[in-house]
Structure 1
Amino acid sequence: MKKLIVKLWATSMLLLCLCGGAFAQMPPVIPIWDANKVTLGLHKVSKDVYAIIPTTAETETTKGIPQATTGGFIVGERGVLLIEVMLTKRLYDQEVKLIRSVTDKPIIYAVNTSDHGDHCFGNYLLPESTLIIQNEFAKDNLAKNYDGIKSFMVGLFGSGRGIENTVYRPADIVIPKNNNLKIDMGAGKIIEMMNVGTAQSPADLFAWMPNQKVFWAGNPFIAESPAIPWLFDGFFLEPAANLKKVYDFLPGDAIVIPGHGRITNKAGIKYTIDYVQELKTEVEAAVAKGLTLEQTKEAVKMKDYDKGYVLFNWLHYNFNLPNAYKDISANKKN
């Protein structure tokens, strides 16, 4: 069953990018953000704990403009733990320059929170001694489908950005579903990698620092309002449950570094929870009435959540709503 899921995921990604009829499902603007133009900035969030955020995020996130990948790093007693390695060499090099602006210690760990290329394609540029940490599914999927994922990323972010030059490098440490891994970097800097299952995709991994209350949210929590989640990996009910579980786990004063936006807090990511729960409620009602998918799209427009996010229509009508309809319909039959 796991092999079948991996194969179907890769096939759907390739179809999205390559099949002529699928261009209706492509985003309104390509690239969604331009890796050749992004500048990354450094934000100190606690002692020896840093976020790496696109410099445009502070002003553009709340305007609904999609942002490039965020990341960060922790400086420990022996070295650095890096979170995200970015999409291309240009962006990876910026990360390293930011790290070197505060420490000369080696990068001993690198964490990928997703198997989407903007979180893991820079792995091949890491020093040989660096240990790469991924969700177990992410490692399996990248090993089997790297070229397909690369084609998908080129489809969303454009050719000529350096994506084509990336090379697969496998993870060294994997975390199975419903398992955590704690790494003690010394001086109270403990990082807990959490695989709670699918929250956006089966490859999700969260990073949590309990003492500092810093949380790297990855793709499941893209950004604060008006952004809505990117549930385009074919799943809905499991993400809906896991998003709520993760949200409930966080303390109210947590510092949240979303996958593609400015630094926020627990209240800042509640918009994602509210959108998903409202979508679930409305689609359940539509399915109970016996509406078809097309009728459900007409009935479940959720205009209260359409507040200027550039990708709202693309995500809501092509992915989030259809996946909700699929899962909820199947659940009703069972």
Structure 2
Amino acid sequence: MTLIKRASAAAIFAIILFTAPAMAQFPMPPHVPIWDANKTELTLQKISPDVYAIIPATAEVETAKGIPQATTGGFIVGEKGVMLIEVMLTKRLFDQEIKLIRSVTNKPIIYAVNTSDHGDHCFTDYLLPASTIIIQNEFAKDNLAKKYEYIKQFMVMLFGKDRGIEATTFRPADIVIPKNNNLKIDLGNGKVVEFINTGIAQSPADLFIWLASSKVFWAGNPFIAESPAIPWLFDGYFLEPVVNLKKIYDFLPDDAIVIPGHGRITTKAGIKYTLDYVEALKRNVEDALSKGLTLEQTKEAVKMSDFNKGYILFDWLHFNFNLPSAYKDIKASQETK
């Protein structure tokens, strides 16, 4: 795997989104597809009355082994209809999702929520009924409207051709939540769903979902899975995610049920590994910069072996994205003081 020297993750991602030929320069993961939408099987897990998680069948066993998992989601059955949390990457997975919903209710899907502008969280919005109200982070809607075809190419690059990604089409959201804003929707019977746009926790498109009555939290990509997974800081941001990951972690009660972006159902304690990793990375990079190390020297010095516990994507993410993003952000912040 070839590293792009001295290129920030933000610059890499911008190149991808604007010039398809430059995708050949993108540091590729050790295996493509990262997970296979043609093979993934989704399962239903009941959390509380009328509250369900949709989880890849392999997640229970493979998450702890460090094997990347397909997108997780879920739904809440309200008085008048269903709120779907996450659509999926392809029609094959979307159809499975709908079948799982219909196994417990015939009520219409009145809301659908996307926690990211990454295609595996939003690309099948177009398959929803026209009456379904789609909810997103404000940035996610704007970015998808401007760059849908480029994002599609990016998803094909990481998740493979001939998975159905190419057939997807853009459908805009109906309700958006601006940065540093929340929205609550009452589904009836005490089920008040809160949408939280806390700012960048992985990307500018993040949206968290909290159902206080059942203490269920859909964490999306910022908390991608429990240990040994580490965060995917693709978009080139670091210092703001460190703050916002801590903010979200502190917001959750100790007994919260957490549905991560790509893994088995876990707890607040289960997602602390992500927070520990970014805080340790921040300390290590600050130390490297205090010694005057270059980015390449920092990569040699900050291997974070104590966090390399078997996640298949550790080296790819840590050295190509997370560490360069931390170095760029921390160095810039020090230069402006």
Same fold, TM exceeding 0.5?
A: yes
Contact 1:80–1:109 (Cα < 8 Å) also in 2: yes
1:141-160 CA-partner distances (Å, limit 9, x unpaired): 00000000000000000000
Gaps of 5+ in 2: 1-9
- Aligned residue identity for 1:108: I
- Aligned residue identity for 1:306: N
Contact 1:16–1:26 (Cα < 8 Å) also in 2: no
| Alignment partner of 1:188 is 2:190 | yes
Cα distance in structure 1, aligned partners of 2:33 and 2:94? 18
Cα distance in structure 1, aligned partners of 2:184 and 2:297? 47
Which residue in 1 is equivalent to 2:241?
239
Determine which of 226, 229, 238 is the counterpart of 1:227: 229
Contact 1:73–1:80 (Cα < 8 Å) also in 2: yes
Secondary structure at the residue paired with 2:32? coil
TM-score by length of structure 2 reads 0.95
Residue 253 of structure 1 and its aligned partner are, at CA, apart by 0.1
Which residue in 2 is equivalent to 1:107?
109
Gaps of 5+ in 1: 1-6
Cα distance in structure 1, aligned partners of 2:199 and 2:155? 23
- Aligned residue identity for 1:263: I
- The 1:261/1:16 distance shift into structure 2, 3 A limit, reads farther
| Alignment partner of 1:11 is 2:31 | no
Determine which of 96, 102, 112 is the counterpart of 2:98: 96
Contact 2:202–2:235 (Cα < 8 Å) also in 1: yes
Determine which of 134, 137, 149 is the counterpart of 1:135: 137
Secondary structure at the residue paired with 1:38? coil
- Paired residues, what number? 327
- Aligned residue identity for 1:191: V
- The 1:234/1:20 distance shift into structure 2, 3 A limit, reads closer
Cα distance in structure 1, aligned partners of 2:277 and 2:11? 27
Q: Which runs of 4+ in 1 moved over 2 A?
A: 7-21
Cα distance in structure 2, aligned partners of 1:251 and 1:237? 24
Residue 305 of structure 1 and its aligned partner are, at CA, apart by 0.3
Contact 2:16–2:22 (Cα < 8 Å) also in 1: no
Which residue in 2 is equivalent to 1:32?
34
Contact 1:15–1:22 (Cα < 8 Å) also in 2: no
Q: Within 5 Å, which residues of 2 pair with 1:1-334?
A: 11-14=14-17, 18-19=21-22, 22-23=25-26, 25-334=27-336
Q: Which has the higher contact order (CA 8 A, sep 6+)?
A: 2
- The 1:8/1:140 distance shift into structure 2, 3 A limit, reads farther
Residue 14 of structure 1 and its aligned partner are, at CA, apart by 3.5
Cα distance in structure 1, aligned partners of 2:170 and 2:310? 36
Secondary structure at the residue paired with 2:71? coil
1:275-311 CA-partner distances (Å, limit 9, x unpaired): 0000000001111111100000000000000000000
Secondary structure at the residue paired with 2:282? helix
TM-score by length of structure 1 reads 0.96
